[in-house]
Amino acid sequence: MDNYKRKREKQRVRIRNKYEILGFISSGTYGRVYKARPREGTQVELAIKRFKPEREGEVRSTSGISQSACREIGLCRELHHENIIELCEVVMDDSAIHMVMDYAEFDLLSIMQHHTHHMRKPMPELVIKSILWQLLNGVAYLHANLILQRDLKPANIMITSSGVVKVGDMGLARVFRRPFVPLYSGDKVVVTVWYRAPELLLGSRHYTTAIDMWSVGCIFAEMLALRPIFKGDEVKMEKKQVPFQRNQVNRILEVLGTPAKEQWPQMELMPDYAHMKQFRHYPSALKSWYANTGHKSEPGFQLLSSMLEYDPARRITAADALDHPYFKEDPKPTRHP
């Protein structure tokens, strides 16, 4: 038995012996993220996510290794793509599990804020197109590998200083293991409300790739207008009941119009469809919304509309979106805008 322990001690690397912590990036329920640099070898910057030790001391019945770490690391371990944040290493020391990941200087949220507050002008079309194309490229890779990201939003889209987009934060992502069986997720409701697809807002419990594509559409729109397209007020969860997001639905109707039956035949079967009667009828206003952003590309408008299709079955897939005429029209997207 002592032999095992010695062997284990040798395997154990201390995170601070191997990496120099340069600063603090963010903190969440899962733990904290730091910026770091390896002490030896090539000088690259990395992000280290330190999972909170599992309720140490507080409850007598410890639960061992954290469930969120198991899920997130387990997934990221299988992902290797230029547009997905890469997991370089998992380091366990006495106190916690650490994910050592690619570091990206910027995220899309801060880039958009920079354009709004400092430059006070829209993002150039070339930049929008290049970011959108790479985002779709990453999402198409996830979907081809039967993974749903489930929380796409500007803050989760990382961009390196050389302009490479990396989809990050796989904390909520799930594999849809049985591909032909619809995925029911009893986990908490996912997707930040502004980026939440209409079928989720109407109570659907089936998570599909179309849900990620709605979020991509919202992000595309946000780059065009430099403000969220559907900026609803979130109704907070009460007594563990998932509330109907009335304001969010209204925001969508104001821009896209009230969906006609033939536009979304399955809508009437949605669990929360009854709520739809409380809204007045809106005509579609996406065309004028798009014109107001000052962008003129017709294929751009077509692509946006096909991402914001009400009917998830008709919404464009990531793979098809990559082939869209918008990307064949000048200015053509580049990898490093």
Partner 1 sequence: HDACETYTELSDWLRGVEQRHGLGLGLELGLSRHPELSGRMRPILVDWLMEVAADYRMHRQTLQLAVQYLDRFLASTELQVRPSMLQCYGTACLSIAMKAEEQRAPSLTELTDFSKDAFSRDQLKQAELDVLVALGWHLAVPTVFEFLCLMFQRAALLLPERFADPAAA
Distance in Å, CB of 331 to partner 1, minimum: 35
How many other CB atoms sit within 10 Å of the CB of residue 280?
Answer: 7
Q: Which of residues 255-274 bind partner 1 (CB under 8 A)?
A: none
Q: Does 161 bind partner 1 (CB under 8 A)?
A: no
Residue type, 275: H
The 18-57 contact track toward partner 1, x by CB under 8 A, reads ----------------------------------------
The piece of 25-33, 35-43, 135-143, 178-186 that touches partner 1 (CB under 8 A) is 178-186
Distance in Å, CB of 241 to partner 1, minimum: 18
How far apart are the C-alpha atoms of 96 and 19, rounded to whole Å? 15
Q: Could you tell me the two tokens for 39?
A: 């002490």
Q: Does 62 bind partner 1 (CB under 8 A)?
A: yes
The 77-116 contact track toward partner 1, x by CB under 8 A, reads xx-----------x-x------------------------
Q: Does 182 bind partner 1 (CB under 8 A)?
A: no
The single residue among 18, 35, 71, 246 that binds partner 1, judged by CB under 8 A, is 71
Answer yes or no: are the C-beta atoms of 230 and 162 closer than 8 Å: no
Choose, from 151, 272, 311, 320, the residue flagged as catalytic: 151
How far apart are the C-alpha atoms of 109 and 137, rounded to whole Å? 19
**151 belongs to the catalytic site:** yes
Q: Could you tell me the two tokens for 312?
A: 């998830």
Helix-helix angle 209-225:125-144, to 10 degrees: 170
Q: Does 7 bind partner 1 (CB under 8 A)?
A: yes
Q: Does 283 bind partner 1 (CB under 8 A)?
A: no
The single residue among 178, 236, 239, 261 that binds partner 1, judged by CB under 8 A, is 178
Peptide bond into 325 cis (omega under 30): no
3-state secondary structure of 70: helix
Distance in Å, CB of 78 to partner 1, minimum: 6
3-state secondary structure of 285: coil
Residue closer to partner 1 (CB basis): 43 or 61: 61
Among 218, 78, 47, CA closest to 141 = 78
Q: Could you tell me the two tokens for 23?
A: 């600063």
Length of the chain: 337
